[in-house]
Structure 1
Amino acid sequence: MNHYRLFRRAALVGALVLPVLTTGCGLFSQEASQSIDPPQDNTGNATSWEDSAKAAQQGEGTQMTVYFKDRNGKLAPITVLAEIGSEEKWGQKALEMMVDGGPLSNEIPEGFQAVLPQGTQVKGFDVIADQKLAIVDFSKSFTDYNAMDERSLVEAVTWTLTGMEGIEQVQIWVEGEKLDEMPVDGMPLDDTITRAVGINLEAQDGINYSQSTPVTLYFSAVTPNNETYYVPVTRLINRTDNRAKAAIEQLISGPLSSKELEAVMTPDVIVKNVTKKNDIATVELEYSGYEEGQQAPAEMMQAVVLAMTENTGLKKVQIKINGKSNVKDTNNQSYSEPVSRPQHMNAFKS
């Protein structure tokens, strides 16, 4: 991908808004930065936090990120608007939205499809707060799926729920009984499932699975309406002790299949160093195509933040290019201070 194309496409990306977190006050209030990204109005422009709050109060819904399957068969996090009743639970509402042909299927954007089998009901949903554990009990219809879809089903449920505040692990039950393995193809389930299960799993050629390290990366794809969105991929690579640095190097290498996913970085970017201190991951890049004062591709910067927070578990990321941190991207987002991972992404215009 040449520089012009990457910069041009990056300017189109409005999927993420990264709040700057500094010591003391940040760009957004603490409440806002931990809440939701500004939604898009029908012109594609971000509305204010105040407008977002008013919309929710007026019953227009609140943002929620749910994993659907795209037209290439990849799972992707999609932000949708959902109205949550006073007695409803966020996790249960998200799972109900994931049911094929369910009552909330009209909320799914064009080009995406629900992954839970038709007729599936969420019979129970509980969160054990001190364990950060969500227990979901599905109806028998949950077991009515093709063997080839088994892993995607587990990944979608796990990544949707663990994307919510206070949930880090999941148990899947059916009709009141905990599953030790999936019922169709026998995928083993640990006592609890975490994001360590991976998503959209792939492997480098010739990889020895027993001698590999998983890294989760974010590449881009395009909807039928020509809107760009991020797709997470867990790639197995040769074993490494520096998973964070390896993840950025794999971002630079790009997707294994250019037919389904597109690169977010150009090959001339070099990872000089990755360090971790005080809950901040610092990524130092050398980029021959970048000059100080120029806007860096938003798509690249955002993908680095996503990959670093996913692979390190840290909350904030500082990015330096050619030794400088006074960087703004093509969405006019400043990276002069560490930025946090957004809670929601891939919000499409209505």
Structure 2
Amino acid sequence: MRRLNLKSIWWLPVAAITLAACGGTDPVDDVLEEMDPPQTEYIEEGEELEGGEGLEVQGEVDENNEEEDMISSITDEEAEEIEEEKGGTVTESAMTELYLLDRNGYVAAQTMNIPRSSNEVQAAVEYLVQGGPVTEMLPNGFQAVLPPGTEVLDSEVSNGVATVDLSEHFAEYHPDQELQVLQALTWTLTQLDDVDRVMLRMNGEELTEMPQNGTPISSGYTRGHGINLETDNVSDLVDTKPVVVYFLSQTDDLQTYYVPVTRRVPNNMDSYEAVVNELLEGPALMSGLLNDFSREVELLDNPQLASNGTLTLNFNEALRSQLEGTAVSQDVLNMLVLSLTEQPDVRDVAIQVESDDTIMVSTGETITEPVSRPTNVNTGEY
């Protein structure tokens, strides 16, 4: 089994990077609101996204000291050893997905190296506060979601539930951002071990609904409530189920990252086929999201899930849209794996083209085995 090898997307002041998992999905019945999506741009066949397919961004290079060349492929442990050899002070840190607001109003993860803490919940939430310690680390076009001055008064984890007590500043978020606040908190905290649900308090009082628009949260919030919800074209929520698919976005300086979107599909439709169909359909008009699939791409067979969790997809030749029709776009591969491994039974994804399981990627790499989900999303290197 091969770990998803994603291209360099963000330069972060960190050493090592791998990619992240997002959780499974449950039915979404109590949240029907949707963000106003900002313009769909389609990548024509044969084109690549600007911004560095397969790039590996390096730091400043000192010709007399190779240790100054801090490429993103070294591990945290190696980085600490380098600091120790230089006589520096080493602060233990951990790669953590922080769900932030991008310039289009979408909640998207950025994986950052933050100091380790005995209270992981408190540490993660503090890095979601505007004007807090995340400020100097924010990628271009991103902002934290919690109002300035928000403090974590207390937090605990019990039976899969993280309960967070926040100061009164928490209630000062903009009403239009209520769902984004909930989603960012939930998806950030549920990446932690033993956390499946988030409960909120404010000044010691349990919150049964959100302070601004009254979104119900008495039973807590989970990843099953979705992220970046799209329900405009859904007339019957009862006969539909949610799926999470990942599209592309870019910053003003053409740095690429992946954005999860929750859509609803018919209950009687195969979930894996539904995910592929939504990816091929592409992002919503005026969303600002991007799609790297050729319009001619089709599934030739029904998706096949093996007992070991490997999902096999067989596409037509149109999937090879790069390098004069010989290679699959790295972004297409990443979107497929990220989206399909959101399904609870899928461990990895085997891609075939006309039943051929030897696939060349636009980076020049050849894959011959299933690709597994990364450990962290949008880390700076894929």
Answer with 163-172 or 114-123: which moved more: 163-172
Which residue of the partner structure matches residue 326 of structure 1? 358
Displacement of 1:277 in angstroms is: 2.7
CA–CA distance in structure 1, aligned partners of residues 186 and 138 of structure 2: 19
With CA pairs under 8 Å and 6+ residues apart, which has the higher RCO, 1 or 2?
2
Which residue of the partner structure matches residue 235 of structure 1? 263
Q: 2:156 aligns with which of 126, 133, 145?
A: 126
Which residue of the partner structure matches residue 95 of structure 1? 125
Which residue of the partner structure matches residue 186 of structure 1? 214
* AA partner of residue 55 (structure 1): A
8 Å CA contact 2:313–2:349 kept in 1: the answer is: no
Which residue of the partner structure matches residue 108 of structure 2? 76
Query: Cα distance 1:269–1:45, how it changes in 2: closer, same or farther (>3 A)?
Result: farther
Which residue of the partner structure matches residue 313 of structure 2? 284
Task: Classify the secondary structure of the residue corresponding to 1:209.
Answer: coil
Which residue of the partner structure matches residue 228 of structure 2? 200
Displacement of 1:286 in angstroms is: 1.6
Displacement of 1:227 in angstroms is: 0.6
* AA partner of residue 284 (structure 1): L
Query: Cα distance 1:144–1:267, how it changes in 2: closer, same or farther (>3 A)?
Result: same
Query: Cα distance 1:56–1:247, how it changes in 2: closer, same or farther (>3 A)?
Result: farther
Answer with 107-116 or 324-333: which moved more: 324-333
8 Å CA contact 2:320–2:329 kept in 1: the answer is: no
Which residue of the partner structure matches residue 4 of structure 1? 46
8 Å CA contact 2:294–2:319 kept in 1: the answer is: no
TM-score w.r.t. length of structure 2 = 0.75
CA–CA distance in structure 2, aligned partners of residues 259 and 227 of structure 1: 17
Q: 2:327 aligns with which of 285, 295, 300?
A: 295
Which residue of the partner structure matches residue 237 of structure 2? 209
Answer with 245-254 or 178-187: which moved more: 178-187
* AA partner of residue 73 (structure 2): S
Q: Deviations over 1:229-285 (max 9, x none)?
A: 111110123433412210111000000125510013222121222222334241313
Kindly indicate whether residue 303 of structure 2 is the aligned counterpart of residue 274 of structure 1: yes
Give the share of equivalent positions with the same residue, in percent: 29
* AA partner of residue 44 (structure 2): N
Answer with 96-105 or 159-168: which moved more: 159-168
Q: How does 1:1-350 map to 2 (within 5 A)?
A: 1-6=43-48, 9=50, 12=53, 41-42=58-59, 47-49=72-74, 51-56=75-80, 58=83, 59=90, 61-85=93-117, 88-128=118-158, 131-203=159-231, 205=233, 207-257=235-285, 259-271=287-299, 272-290=301-319, 294-332=326-364, 334-348=366-380
8 Å CA contact 1:200–1:234 kept in 2: the answer is: yes
CA–CA distance in structure 1, aligned partners of residues 167 and 351 of structure 2: 46
Query: Cα distance 1:252–1:344, how it changes in 2: closer, same or farther (>3 A)?
Result: same
CA–CA distance in structure 2, aligned partners of residues 144 and 279 of structure 1: 47
Displacement of 1:120 in angstroms is: 0.7
CA–CA distance in structure 1, aligned partners of residues 294 and 70 of structure 2: 28
* AA partner of residue 172 (structure 2): D
Query: Cα distance 1:201–1:174, how it changes in 2: closer, same or farther (>3 A)?
Result: same
Displacement of 1:103 in angstroms is: 3.4
Q: Deviations over 1:111-140 (max 9, x none)?
A: 100101111111222223xx3332222112
Q: Deviations over 1:3-62 (max 9, x none)?
A: 2214x5596256xxxxxxxxxxxxxxxxxxxxxxxx96437996434x432225643744
- How many residues in Structure 1 have an aligned counterpart in Structure 2? 319
Task: Classify the secondary structure of the residue corresponding to 2:338.
Answer: helix
Displacement of 1:329 in angstroms is: 1.9
